[in-house]
Structure 1
């Protein structure tokens, strides 16, 4: 039988039973959805739901498995018109006291861990934070409205032909040079 905690946004690890999984079902209200949309630079966020279980894994670790569903509206990267996307993702996180969150000085490099589902385990597990992070990772990085095309712009001074894309390619002129040399040899 599963545990059903009173407050599922943040769960205290000390209150968890290692014998029974914890089920959760987060559906933010409209004010919370607007705040999340604002934080993620979305035009709109609808139907956000995060549902899953938190299960003991070994003696000290916890496994979170959940389904994330949301409908997001973002600006098109070409036209800035609204683009609506449905997101349905499986989310897995492993919370362990052995996982160490590396902190580094701004601008310095850190090595990425081999297991990107591993999270440090503290006194609490913030399920709402996991939901928002998973949503941010699932967002399309370059939403584009269907049929939206980038135009081209060619600028040059008066009397000079603007440079074309073909002329910027390093080997584009070699074919014409080869043809020119052949014509000189034939003459």
Structure 2
């Protein structure tokens, strides 16, 4: 059994940015790396993927990542498994704080901005792949794909249908019958 290929990486040392100049980057994996990413994310194909942005100093020691994702993905339809092409575009911003305090269990509020502790190096490829994952349509649908009722049962047994599972439908009919005076 062979090990699955590892996801691509493109790291920059935080010290190159912290308190200094802005560093611009472009993560545009080649066809082989896109195939590895597609396999990891359950995609049929990943024809285009670019994560482009900057790592900029924020104050004396903090760093902010601002980037834009553009991608063309091919996913299986959630109904028919037919290929579905989607063009994605999204923006990402992450603040890295040098003196980051991890919130305690009592402080379970979600912060207004996305802050993380400043790592020794920032892997823009991993951030780009995460941004791609979050931007993917959850239930892609091919044109003309329609979810119809499927009924299955053992031979000789009548299949259970969705209207059979509505217990109050029979009660409504009974209530109507009780309201009408018998003649």
Normalising by structure 1, we get a TM-score of: 0.79
C-alpha distance in 2 between matches for 1:115 and 1:99: 15
Match of 1:47 in 2: 48
Distance 1:44 1:156 in 2: 36
Structure 1 residues 71 and 62: CA distance shift in structure 2, 3 A: same
Structure 1: give runs of 5+ residues left out of the alignment.
1-7, 103-110
Query: Unaligned regions of 5+ residues in structure 2, if any?
Result: 1-8
Say if 2:75 and 2:85, in contact at 8 Å, map to a contact too: yes
Maintained 8 Å contact 1:99/1:119: no
**CA displacement 1:40-97 (0-9 Å, x = unmatched):** 1111112211111111112222111111001011111111111111110011111123
Q: Which residue is 1:78 aligned to?
A: 79
Paired residue for 1:132?
129
1:90 matched residue in structure 2: 91
Residue 105 (structure 1) aligns with: none
The corresponding residue for 1:119 is 116
Are 1:149 and 2:146 an aligned pair? yes
**Aligned partners of 2:74, 2:27: CA distance in 1, in Å?**
20
CA displacement at 1:101 relative to structure 2: 9.1
Q: Does 1:173 align with 2:170?
A: yes
Partner residue, 2:70:
69
User: 2:52 matched to 1:56?
Assistant: no
Kept after mapping to 2: 8 A contact 1:77/1:143: yes
- Provide the C-alpha distance between the structure 2 equivalents of 1:152 and 1:161, rounded to a whole number of angstroms: 15
* 1:69–1:88 CA contact under 8 A, matched in 2: yes
> 1:96-135: CA deviations, max 9, x gaps?
2305499xxxxxxxx5743462222111111111011101
Partners of 2:155 and 2:38 in 1: CA distance: 47
Whole-angstrom CA distance in 1 between matches of 2:63 and 2:143: 42
CA RMSD of aligned residues (A): 2.6
> Does the 8 A contact of 2:19 with 2:62 survive in 1?
no
Contact kept, 8 Å, 1:101 with 1:120, in 2: the verdict is: no
Query: How many residue pairs align between the two structures?
Result: 171
Equivalents in 2 of 1:44, 1:101: separation in Å? 39
TM-score (structure 2 length as normaliser): 0.81
Q: 1:37 aligns to what?
A: 38
